[in-house]
């Protein structure tokens, strides 16, 4: 199944069920500056829901030992990269450029852009939401993820 997120999710993605417990609007922080984003972030949980032709085929929440190691790095110079931990080492991939405005992180990599909605951003916590809809081999896919990171 195609997964398009830098995280993530970027990949973003990285990358949940609609029955998750989200922060209320009062708890969400959308800083005026992108300075809170700069640094290295480690994924700590991911809630997801995947559909094929409108039917849920997988959903759940991964956290703790269920997660494969995943990091995001946002640098002051506007560059970013992500890594996954495999066989006792970090494999770095998906280098690109990032920008942040109005609660949206935009990642540009190889002339392609991805927009990632920021649900919460503090000096120590980043929660992002990604939705991907696409058709492949006649099947319509909908992938939804809510991913939480902590700054390390």
What pLDDT is attached to residue 138?
Answer: 95
The answer to whether 144 and 133 are in contact (CB under 8 A) is: no
What pLDDT does 33 receive? Answer: 63
Low-confidence ranges of the chain (pLDDT < 50): 1-31
**Interval 46-76: pLDDT, tens:** 999 999 999 999 998 887 666 668 899 999 9
Q: Which distant-in-sequence residues (6+ apart) come within 8 Å of 146 by Cβ?
A: 16, 20, 22, 46, 47, 48, 119, 127, 128, 129
CB 126 within 8 A of CB 100: no
Q: What pLDDT does 22 receive?
A: 37
């Amino acid at each position: 199944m195609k997964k398009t997120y830098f995280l993530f999710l970027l990949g973003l993605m990285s990358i949940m069920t609609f029955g998750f417990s989200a922060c209320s609007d009062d708890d969400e922080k959308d800083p005026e500056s992108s300075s809170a984003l700069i640094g290295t972030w480690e994924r700590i949980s991911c809630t997801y829901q995947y559909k094929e032709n409108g039917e849920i085929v997988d959903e759940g929440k991964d956290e703790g030992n269920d997660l494969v190691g995943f990091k995001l790095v946002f640098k002051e110079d506007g560059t970013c990269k992500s890594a996954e931990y495999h066989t006792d080492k970090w494999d770095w991939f998906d280098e690109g450029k990032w920008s942040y405005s109005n609660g949206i992180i935009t990642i540009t990599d190889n002339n392609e852009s991805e927009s990632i909605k920021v649900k919460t951003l503090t000096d120590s916590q980043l929660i992002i939401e990604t939705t991907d809809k696409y058709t492949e081999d006649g099947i319509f896919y909908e992938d939804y993820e809510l991913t939480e990171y902590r700054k390390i």
